[in-house]
Amino acid sequence: MIISKDKVVTIDYSLTDEEGELIDSSVGEEPLVYLHGHHGVIPGLEQALAGRRVGDRLEVSIPPEEGYGDWDEDLVEVVGAEDFDDAEELEIGTQFETMTEDGTRLATIIDIEGDEITVDLNHPLAGMTLNFDVTVLEVRDATAEELAHGHVHGHGEHDEGH
Protein backbone atom coordinates (compact mmCIF):
# COMPACT_ATOMS: atom_id res chain seq x y z
CA MET A 1 0.00 0.00 0.00
CA ILE A 2 1.28 3.45 -0.92
CA ILE A 3 1.31 6.39 1.49
CA SER A 4 -1.36 8.86 0.41
CA LYS A 5 -4.11 11.03 1.90
CA ASP A 6 -6.26 9.26 4.50
CA LYS A 7 -3.76 6.44 5.13
CA VAL A 8 -2.57 5.67 8.65
CA VAL A 9 1.22 5.60 8.55
CA THR A 10 3.59 4.12 11.13
CA ILE A 11 7.24 5.22 11.01
CA ASP A 12 10.43 4.93 12.99
CA TYR A 13 12.49 8.10 12.82
CA SER A 14 15.54 9.89 14.13
CA LEU A 15 15.67 13.69 13.98
CA THR A 16 18.93 15.60 14.03
CA ASP A 17 19.82 19.27 13.69
CA GLU A 18 22.22 20.83 11.17
CA GLU A 19 25.22 19.81 13.31
CA GLY A 20 24.05 16.19 13.48
CA GLU A 21 22.97 16.41 17.13
CA LEU A 22 20.08 14.08 17.95
CA ILE A 23 16.90 16.02 18.78
CA ASP A 24 14.37 13.20 18.95
CA SER A 25 13.99 9.56 17.99
CA SER A 26 11.39 6.82 18.08
CA VAL A 27 14.00 4.08 17.63
CA GLY A 28 13.76 1.72 20.58
CA GLU A 29 10.55 3.50 21.66
CA GLU A 30 7.02 3.57 20.30
CA PRO A 31 6.96 4.38 16.57
CA LEU A 32 5.13 7.49 15.34
CA VAL A 33 1.65 6.83 13.94
CA TYR A 34 -0.17 9.59 12.05
CA LEU A 35 -3.01 10.18 9.58
CA HIS A 36 -1.45 11.25 6.28
CA GLY A 37 -2.84 14.46 4.78
CA HIS A 38 -4.27 15.75 8.07
CA HIS A 39 -1.33 17.79 9.46
CA GLY A 40 -0.12 15.00 11.77
CA VAL A 41 3.52 15.70 10.88
CA ILE A 42 5.33 18.76 9.52
CA PRO A 43 4.57 19.55 5.85
CA GLY A 44 8.06 18.77 4.52
CA LEU A 45 8.13 15.33 6.10
CA GLU A 46 4.61 14.55 4.92
CA GLN A 47 5.57 15.52 1.35
CA ALA A 48 8.71 13.36 1.51
CA LEU A 49 6.69 10.35 2.70
CA ALA A 50 3.96 10.63 0.05
CA GLY A 51 4.19 7.72 -2.39
CA ARG A 52 6.42 5.60 -0.12
CA ARG A 53 5.73 2.00 0.93
CA VAL A 54 6.37 -0.27 3.90
CA GLY A 55 10.09 -0.94 4.19
CA ASP A 56 11.15 2.28 2.47
CA ARG A 57 13.91 4.17 4.26
CA LEU A 58 14.67 7.79 3.50
CA GLU A 59 16.87 10.58 4.71
CA VAL A 60 15.38 14.00 4.19
CA SER A 61 16.43 17.52 5.13
CA ILE A 62 13.50 19.84 5.88
CA PRO A 63 14.07 23.63 5.73
CA PRO A 64 12.34 25.82 8.35
CA GLU A 65 9.58 26.98 5.98
CA GLU A 66 8.49 23.33 5.51
CA GLY A 67 8.96 22.52 9.19
CA TYR A 68 8.11 24.74 12.13
CA GLY A 69 8.61 28.02 10.29
CA ASP A 70 11.21 30.73 10.61
CA TRP A 71 12.05 32.13 14.03
CA ASP A 72 9.93 35.27 14.51
CA GLU A 73 11.20 38.07 16.78
CA ASP A 74 7.61 39.31 17.15
CA LEU A 75 6.82 36.14 19.13
CA VAL A 76 9.17 37.18 21.94
CA GLU A 77 7.37 39.09 24.69
CA VAL A 78 8.20 40.54 28.09
CA VAL A 79 5.53 39.84 30.70
CA GLY A 80 5.24 40.69 34.37
CA ALA A 81 5.92 38.16 37.10
CA GLU A 82 2.43 38.91 38.42
CA ASP A 83 1.09 36.97 35.39
CA PHE A 84 2.42 33.73 36.93
CA ASP A 85 1.06 31.93 39.99
CA ASP A 86 4.50 30.50 40.77
CA ALA A 87 6.84 33.23 39.49
CA GLU A 88 9.47 32.57 42.18
CA GLU A 89 9.88 29.00 40.87
CA LEU A 90 10.41 29.98 37.22
CA GLU A 91 13.79 29.69 35.57
CA ILE A 92 15.29 30.16 32.14
CA GLY A 93 14.32 27.23 29.94
CA THR A 94 10.99 26.57 31.68
CA GLN A 95 8.31 25.72 29.13
CA PHE A 96 4.55 26.05 29.50
CA GLU A 97 1.46 26.23 27.34
CA THR A 98 -0.36 29.52 26.97
CA MET A 99 -3.43 30.66 25.07
CA THR A 100 -2.84 33.22 22.32
CA GLU A 101 -4.95 34.75 19.54
CA ASP A 102 -3.71 31.88 17.35
CA GLY A 103 -4.64 29.16 19.86
CA THR A 104 -2.52 27.29 22.38
CA ARG A 105 1.24 27.77 22.02
CA LEU A 106 4.26 26.40 23.81
CA ALA A 107 6.18 29.23 25.48
CA THR A 108 9.78 29.10 26.71
CA ILE A 109 11.23 31.46 29.31
CA ILE A 110 14.42 32.90 27.83
CA ASP A 111 15.26 35.65 30.35
CA ILE A 112 14.31 36.79 33.84
CA GLU A 113 15.23 40.26 35.11
CA GLY A 114 13.52 41.18 38.36
CA ASP A 115 9.79 41.12 37.76
CA GLU A 116 10.17 41.03 33.97
CA ILE A 117 10.03 37.62 32.34
CA THR A 118 10.88 37.25 28.64
CA VAL A 119 9.03 34.44 26.90
CA ASP A 120 9.55 33.04 23.41
CA LEU A 121 6.37 31.78 21.74
CA ASN A 122 8.22 30.37 18.72
CA HIS A 123 8.17 26.58 18.42
CA PRO A 124 11.45 25.28 19.93
CA LEU A 125 12.44 23.97 16.48
CA ALA A 126 11.50 27.16 14.57
CA GLY A 127 14.24 28.43 12.28
CA MET A 128 16.00 25.06 12.20
CA THR A 129 16.74 22.77 9.28
CA LEU A 130 15.56 19.35 10.43
CA ASN A 131 17.20 16.15 9.22
CA PHE A 132 15.06 13.01 9.38
CA ASP A 133 16.11 9.40 8.96
CA VAL A 134 12.82 7.55 8.51
CA THR A 135 11.73 3.93 7.97
CA VAL A 136 8.14 3.19 6.96
CA LEU A 137 6.85 0.36 9.16
CA GLU A 138 3.16 0.16 8.26
CA VAL A 139 0.57 1.75 5.97
CA ARG A 140 -3.16 1.02 6.30
CA ASP A 141 -6.50 2.55 5.43
CA ALA A 142 -7.91 4.85 8.10
CA THR A 143 -11.16 3.86 9.77
CA ALA A 144 -14.28 5.96 9.24
CA GLU A 145 -13.98 7.19 12.83
CA GLU A 146 -10.33 8.23 12.34
CA LEU A 147 -11.27 10.14 9.19
CA ALA A 148 -14.20 11.83 10.95
CA HIS A 149 -11.98 12.90 13.84
CA GLY A 150 -8.94 13.77 11.69
CA HIS A 151 -6.45 11.73 13.72
CA VAL A 152 -5.39 8.15 14.46
CA HIS A 153 -7.07 6.28 17.28
CA GLY A 154 -5.06 3.95 19.44
CA HIS A 155 -6.57 0.82 20.93
CA GLY A 156 -9.36 1.86 23.31
CA GLU A 157 -8.82 5.59 22.72
CA HIS A 158 -12.50 6.30 22.16
CA ASP A 159 -15.30 4.58 24.06
CA GLU A 160 -18.36 3.30 22.26
CA GLY A 161 -20.95 5.99 21.80
CA HIS A 162 -18.50 8.92 21.58
State residue 135 phi and psi, 5-degree precision: -125, 130
Q: Could you tell me which CATH number the domain at 7-68+126-149 has?
A: 3.10.50.40
> For 23-54, what is each residue's pLDDT tens digit?
999 999 999 999 999 999 999 999 999 999 99
Segment 62-81, tens digit of pLDDT: 999 999 999 999 999 999 99
pLDDT at 85: 84
Decide whether 7-68+126-149 matches 73-120 in CATH topology. no
Give domain 73-120's CATH number out of 2.60.120.380, 2.40.10.10, 2.40.10.330, 2.60.40.10. Answer: 2.40.10.330
Tell me the domain boundaries of the chain. Answer: 7-68+126-149, 73-120
Reported as a single tens digit per residue, the pLDDT across 97-152 is 988 888 888 999 999 999 999 999 999 999 999 999 999 999 999 999 999 998 99
